Each structure stands twice: as structure tokens, then as C-alpha cells.
Amino acid sequence: MRGSRRLTFVALLIWACGMLVSAVVPWPVIEGGRSALADLDTIGANAKASAATPRILLIGSSPVVLGLSAEEIARATGLPTYNLGVWTALFFFPEYLDRAMEFVRPDDIVILSNPNWLNRQSPILGEGCIGKFSASCTLWRPRPLPDLVEFVKVLSGLWPTDFGVKRDPVGDLVTVRIRNGAETIPTLPYVGRISDGVVADLAQAAARLRKLGACPLLTLGPIFVEPKERDRWLGEQSAAEARVAELGLSASVITDGMVNTDRSLFLDGFEHPAPSERVIWTRRVVERLVSPTQSPCSRSLAKAEHSLNQS
Amino acid sequence: MAYQENSIEHLARRAPRANWSLLNAAVGKVVLCALGLALLSKMSGVPYAPITLGVSAVFSYGVALAVYRLDAKGVRRVIGRIAVPFGFVAIVALNLSGLVGTLTGADSVRSFASLSLVAAPFYILSMCAVIADLANRRIEMPRMLDYLTYVAFPFKLLAGPLEQPGFIRQIEAWRPNFSWSRLAVAWPWAVLGATMKFVIGDGLSPASTLGATDPISAILTAAIFELRFYFDFAGYSFIGYAGALALGFRITQNFAHPFFAPNVVLFWRRWHMSLGRFLARYLLEPNVGMIRGRLARMIFTSGIFFVSALWHGGTMNYAFWGLFHATCYFLWISRLKRHRWSGTSGVAAMILFFVAGRFLAIEADPHRLLAKLGNLLSPAAWRDDLMNVAARMVEVVGPQAPYLAAATLFFIVEYQSVARYGVGRPYHLFRRPVPAMVLLIIALLFGSTGGGLLYARL
């Protein structure tokens, strides 16, 4: 009996140590997050090297990588545009945003789309866990100790960099390897009222960007939903628009076009736009940006035009 | 007199302790209920899912109480007989109306139901079984807290073991206390379950090739799905079993080496055992005696598989799946069991049985299911596949290769366990001190968390 008690104690101790190690392994190294941040650094360095002011910076996760074209936006506005969106950023969005903010200069136009604004029911509980030691971070990280192996890889400089996504120097997508090209892809489930929380987050993000002297343009990415749930989602969209208007953010937030029931507009997941949707979403952003009456960033655009005329 | 005084004194001394013990138990049960509801909320991602369950439980408790108080024996007997079948019908009706989805449905039939009650079929059956047992006077009317603990019991993990109402007796007698010996028995089960689910099961994810209709891809996908179901479902059942055991409850293990079963009948005694026992108790035993004739009884027994299949979901694939299992079961009990089967042919037949069953169960899209079945019979489709067999294998098996290798290794050890300790001591080799410690380290190093519970799906 004493032997089995000792063994049980040792097992519990090993388990506790395992959880502890998983808690102190730096979060960015896991789940390829390190590689995503490396992508951000590379494209961000290119943006930093550009002396032109202002610039347009696209910030977000894989939907932004797949769904917005820096080249098209640059062509339409005449401003240098960089797609700083990175794959898997949704898993650690606050940390990613902090890093991306380092590349923002006053008068820049920042187009920001956080996939977690809509995908709130998904178990992205690791969010906000970098450098944080808490019970919830320890328990809910997507992978506990296995990433020790990955951690060793990072220490040795051999972290994986291939997500199957190839990008050009401004961050635009060149090729992507589809992981789940099945005919049927999951839709984003409707889980009840989310608009209040979404709008509060939007307002917070806008305030943060304005504090840096940048002009925010926030956009809710396209999502693929069940046809029978379309009306509920549209109800959420209307509710969000009303709240956005109340807060005086109407010009800075693009909410329309987020709800889609057409499978062909999506690549391999409910928030991964296909090339056809990329054209649509990019056009919607450009239209808002260059609109003489609605653009929230007319000051930045005017300044850009002025400096262009001078040069 | 002296005895009486002593006894009163003794009782007076014991009374506060007894009260404290009862309070302790009540608090423990409230904590268990809260854990069960929190788990439901977490798994469903719907904050009001626990409210739905709570309201359903209170409503069913009211019905149970009314049934218990019924004096008319005849009416009670009828209720006792139809309560569980009614539950089955209600689940299928809810499923067909889209209010609850299939248990293990593919994405194409995902209906994000307004009831938002993950694993609703498990809860509904539990509630109906209590009503049936009360009507038949198999159990006494439980207290509300004991009943709620039974319904929301967290170690059932929503869709794990389907405990029968007799389990309420364990809940009534339960007093929370700590025991090293229970913990010593429980933790090897927990690491076995964690290894099966988080190291192997979660890694097997053939959903991306579910859309492939060519014969080889479809068969391989079905085979991998079968493994996924085993490792995931058995894994979390064992984790639940270990958790319950650590706290002093004994729930059903749910799996006992099903892939080493020599025939269909034994397979179903070892796979999802709690459901098998449930069906036997509430559908088979009360009704089979009323059926005259051996053949009719065999048909009735086999037909229960069809009911069980529809409980998973009222879709065409489950109907086919139920018919397939009913047919296999009937053929075995009526004819095949009389023949002697060589080891090789028996193993081959069982593998075919596993894969064919899963082939039907996983494909919820009726058009694609028919296309797959058509291609199985099409020489042209086979010719095309055989010319590209390597590419097909790489496409389907490639991404799963490390996990399939781990599964193979697991089966080798499992075979050793069966050979050495028999099915009566399930997975005993894994639970020996050294292997259990090795599994713990493997689970910590290579396990992933998350991934959901396979059966706890809308």
C-alpha cells in the first residue's frame, strides 16, 4: 500500500511539474506562433524601411492574409501598403497586436481585422497568455508540454516556418497550400448575442490606434454561415451597426458584407476567404477608404497627396 | 437503562458528526452538479445550455414524482414500459426537426440547434430511465439534489458512460473523502485515457478526406475514422472513469478491448458498454418475453441496433448503419455462430465489419454516400484507383502516419494485455506501475489538449 501511495504521489508530482513547465515555456514558440511572429518581423522590416508617410498597414490573422490585397489597396490609394497579417495570429492576438503596433507611425492608416471579434465561441483560451502565469493559461493552452520539443527547436533555431503560405515583400499572398479543400467546410455557429462585446472591442481598438496618431479602419472579416442562420447573423450585424453609430464610429468600421452563405467564397474554413472573396473584401475596404464622404482617413490621404505633389 | 443512557449519549455525540457528514455530502453534490454544468457550458460554448439542462431536469423530476405517486399499477406498468422508447422517439424527432443534431455527425449535417444542448440524447435517456425505473418500482424516489447530480454528473463527461438510474444509490450513499488507495487505482486509468485521447485519438483527423468518393480513399478514411472513434471515445470514457473512481464512484468502463472481440455479439458487449447494457435493460428485457417464436425474437433483438443507430441521428447514413449492424447481428446469432471459423478468416471478417460499419456511419451527406457506395461496385472506379493507389494512400494516410504508427504500437501492447490478463482485467498491462508511468510521460510530452469530445456534439 505504501508503495502504491508513493507511486501515486510521484505520478501526481510529475504531472504537476509537466503543467508547470508548460506554463513557463514562452507562449510565442508554440503552435507555430513563433514562425508567425517571424513573418511579421520580416514584412514589418520592409514597411519600416519605407520612408514614405503615411502608409497603409493591414493587421489581422489568416483571414487578412488570404482576404485583403496590399497591392490592390496601394494601387487604388497610391499609398505604400503592407499586409502585416500573420497566420495563426488569432491564437495570441493581443500579443501579436502589441508587436504589430510597433510598426505604426503617426498618420498611418491601419486596417485592422481581429478574427476573434466574431469567432467568440471557439476555444481560443490561450489568447493573452504570453509571458503570463495563471491557472487558466496553464490549463487551457492548446498543447501543454509537447511544445517543449518545439521549444528546443526554437532554441536551436530550427522552428518550423512553412505553413504552406508564400508571401511577397509587402505581405501579399503568392501561394497557399490548402489543408482542407473538402466540399463541405464547417460554418461559423451562431451562439447568441455577440454584438455588444464585438462593438466594445472595436471601440477599444480604434481608441488605441488613434492614441498612436494613426487612422483606424476596422473591418469585420467575412464569415461563412448556415443559410438558416443568416437572418440571425444579419440581426447581429444590424445591432452592431446601431451600437457603432451610437459610439460615433460609423465611418471607421466596416460591418457590411461579413455574413455569407456562399460556399464558393471560402477556401478551407468558415473565415478563410477564397480569391473571389478577396476581391470583394478588398474592394469594400478601398471604397470606404477613398470615399469622399465616408472615408475616416481623409486627413491622412490628403497629406499623402500633398507630399506626392511636392515630390 | 444503562444501555439506553449510553446509547443516547452515544447518539448525542454522533449527531453533530452525522449532520456534518450530511452537509459535507450535500456541498459535495452541489459542487459535482456545478462542475457538470460548467463542463456542459464549456463544451457547448453556449452560456445558457446549463439552464436548458436544469429546466429539463427539474421538469423531468416533476414527471418522475408524479409517476412515483401514481397508485394505478396498470398505468405505472405501461409508463415503465414506454418511457425509454418514448425517449428514443423524442430524440429522433428532435433530430429530424433540427432541434438537436446528430451525435457524431459530419459538418454537412451540423445544425446549431436552438436547444443548444450538447449530448442531449444522453441526458434525455437518463431522465426517461429514471421515470421508467420509478414506475417499475426498481428504485425509490430520489432526492432532488441526488437526481440533479445523477443527470449532470461531471464524470460522465456529457457523452461518456450512460449510467442507469441504479447509480443514484451510489450518489445517495456518497460522502466526499480523500483516499490514497482510490487515487492509486484511478490515476493509471486517467493516463491510459489521456494517452488514447490526446496522444493518438486527437491526431487521427481524417475529416479532410471525407469528401473523397473513390473506393480506396473512402475505405481508408472509414478505417481511420474507426480508430479515431475508438481512441477518442474510449480515451475520454477512461478519464471520466478515473475521475469518478478517485472520488469514490464506480461508473461503467465503457470499453474492454472491442477490437479483439472474435464476433459481432462480443464486440457489442465491449464497445460503448453502457449503451449496450442500457438498451438490453430498457428495450430488450421488458419486451422480448412477449415475442413468440425464436426467429421473431432474434429479429427483434437485432432490430434494437436499428433503434440504437437512429438514436445517434435520424439521417440516412445512420439508418444504413443500423440496418448493417442489425443484419450482421442477426446473421451471427441465427447462422454463422454454428460454424467453426479459422483465426485468419475471423480476423478478416471482423476488420471488414468494423470498416464497413464506419463507412456508412460517417457519411452524413446522402448523395455522397450513394456515390461512395456506387463507386464501391464500379469496376471503372476501382481501376482508376488502383492505377493511382500510391497517391491515394499518401493523400489519406500520409498526414496521419505518426498517429497510425502510435495506434499500431498501442494495439500490440493491448494484444499482449489481452493474452496475459484476459478481457476480465481490461487494459491491465497499461495500468501496471511502470507502463502507467511511461504513459504519463508520453501524455505530457506528446498529448494535445482540446479537440472536443467526439460524441458530445450537436
Name the residue facing B440 among A11, A144, A185 (closest C-beta): A11
Is the N-terminal amide bond of A54 cis, ω within 30° of 0?
yes
Query: What SS3 class is residue B420?
Result: helix
Mean pLDDT of A159-163: 52
Q: Which residue does chain A place closest to B447, by CA atoms? A: A146
Q: Residue ranges per domain, chain B?
A: 21-173, 180-446
Q: What is the DSSP string of A39-90?
A: HHHHHHHHHHH---SS-EEEEESHHHHHH--HHHHHHHH-S-EEE---TTGG
- A227-231's contacts with Cβ under 8 Å and 24+ in sequence apart are A227/A261, A228/B98, A228/B111, A229/A187, A229/A189, A229/A190, A229/B112, A230/A259, A230/A261
C-alpha closest to that of A85 among A115, A56, A64, A113: A64
Mean pLDDT of A278-302: 87
B112/A140 touch (CB, cutoff 8 Å), yes or no: no
Q: What is the DSSP string of B33-78?
A: HHHHHHHHHHHH--TTHHHHHHHHHHHHHHHHHHHHH---HHHHHH
Identify from A1, A5, A7 which residue to disrupt to test chain B contact, counting B C-beta atoms within 10 A and taking the largest count: A7
Give residue-wise pLDDT tens across range A15-40: 888 777 766 655 444 555 666 777 88
**What is the pTM for the complete model shown?**
0.71
Q: How far is A32 from chain B (nearest CA, A)?
A: 14
Strand partners of residue A260: A224
Distance CA A148, CA A18 (A): 10
Q: Which residues of B touch A267 (CB under 8 A)?
A: none
**Interchain CB contact of A145 with B (< 8 Å):** yes
Tell me the residues of chain A between 27 and 86 that have a Cβ less than 8 Å away from chain B.
none
- Quote the pLDDT of residue B458: 36
Mean pLDDT of A203-228: 89
- Quote the pLDDT of residue B112: 41
What are the cell numbers at B346? 475471423
Query: What SS3 class is residue A139?
Result: helix
Give residue-wise pLDDT tens across range A79-109: 999 999 988 787 777 778 888 999 999 889 9
Neighbouring C-alpha atoms within 13 Å toward the C-beta of B251: 34
Higher pLDDT, B59 or A200: B59
**Interchain CB contact of A106 with B (< 8 Å):** no
B441/A14 touch (CB, cutoff 8 Å), yes or no: yes
**Around Cβ A51, how many Cβ atoms within 10 Å?**
7
**Interchain CB contact of A186 with B (< 8 Å):** yes
8 Å CB contact between A125 and A230? no
Name the residue facing A229 among B112, B433, B441 (closest C-beta): B112
Mean pLDDT of A67-72: 94
Amino acid (1-letter code) at residue A67: G
Distance CA B20, CA B17 (A): 5
Question: Which residue in this structure is represented by grid cell 470498416?
Answer: B355
Name the residue facing B208 among A4, A180, A192 (closest C-beta): A180
Mean pLDDT of A263-290: 90
Neighbouring C-alpha atoms within 13 Å toward the C-beta of B402: 6
Give residue-wise pLDDT tens across range A234-264: 888 888 888 888 888 888 888 888 899 998 8
Average pLDDT, chain A: 78
8 Å CB contact between B211 and B60? no
**How far is residue B25 CA from its own chain's centroid?**
28
- Quote the pLDDT of residue B425: 94
A192/B47 touch (CB, cutoff 8 Å), yes or no: yes
C-alpha closest to that of A17 among A153, A144, A154: A144
Distance CA A167, CA B180 (A): 56
**Around Cβ B13, how many Cβ atoms within 10 Å?**
9
Query: What SS3 class is residue A223?
Result: strand
Q: How far is A304 from chain B (nearest CA, A)?
A: 46
Residue A41 pLDDT > 90, yes or no?
no
Q: Which residues of B touch A143 (CB under 8 A)?
A: 447-449
Residue A127 pLDDT > 50, yes or no?
no
Kindly give the pairing relationship between strand A173-176 and strand A109-113.
Answer: unpaired
Q: By CB neighbour count within 10 A (0-12 exposed, 13-18 middle, 19+ buried), where does B173 fall?
A: exposed
Q: Which residues contact B62 (CB under 8 A, 6 or more apart)?
A: none
Query: What SS3 class is residue A166?
Result: strand
Note the CATH architecture for domain A27-310: 3-Layer(aba) Sandwich (3.40)
Kindly give the pairing relationship between strand A215-219 and strand A253-254.
Answer: parallel
A192/B448 touch (CB, cutoff 8 Å), yes or no: no
Q: How far is B118 from chain A (nearest CA, A)?
A: 13
Q: Which residues contact A269 (CB under 8 A, 6 or more apart)?
A: A180, A185, A186, A224
Q: What is the DSSP string of B310-356?
A: HHH-SSHHHHHHHHHHHHHHHHHHHTGGGS---HHHHHHHHHHHHHH
Q: What is the DSSP string of A188-220?
A: PPP-S--HHHHHHHHHHHHHHHHHTTPEEEEEP
**Interchain CB contact of A226 with B (< 8 Å):** yes
- Quote the pLDDT of residue B167: 94
Among left, alpha and beta (phi > 0; psi -120 to 50; other), residue A258 is alpha
Q: What is the DSSP string of B223-292?
A: HHHHHHHIIIIIHHHHHHHHHHHHHT-------S-GGG-SSHHHHHHHSSHHHHHHHIIIIIHHHHTT--
Q: Which residue does chain B place closest to A22, by CA atoms? A: B444
Q: How far is CA A211 from CA A113, A198, B400, in A?
A: 18, 20, 48
Q: Which residues of B touch A144 (CB under 8 A)?
A: 444, 447, 449
**Interchain CB contact of A197 with B (< 8 Å):** no
8 Å CB contact between A82 and A171? yes
Q: How far is CA B265 from CA A142, B62, B272, B329, in A?
A: 39, 38, 13, 7
Name the residue facing B208 among A8, A182, A229 (closest C-beta): A182
Residue A164 pLDDT > 70, yes or no?
no
C-alpha closest to that of B237 among B454, B436, B68, B457: B454
Name the residue facing A142 among B191, B368, B450 (closest C-beta): B450
- Quote the pLDDT of residue A29: 47
- Quote the pLDDT of residue B148: 95
ipTM: 0.74
Q: Residues of chain B whose pLDDT is less than 50?
A: 1-3, 105-116, 457-458
Q: Residue ranges per domain, chain A?
A: 27-310
B211/A190 touch (CB, cutoff 8 Å), yes or no: no
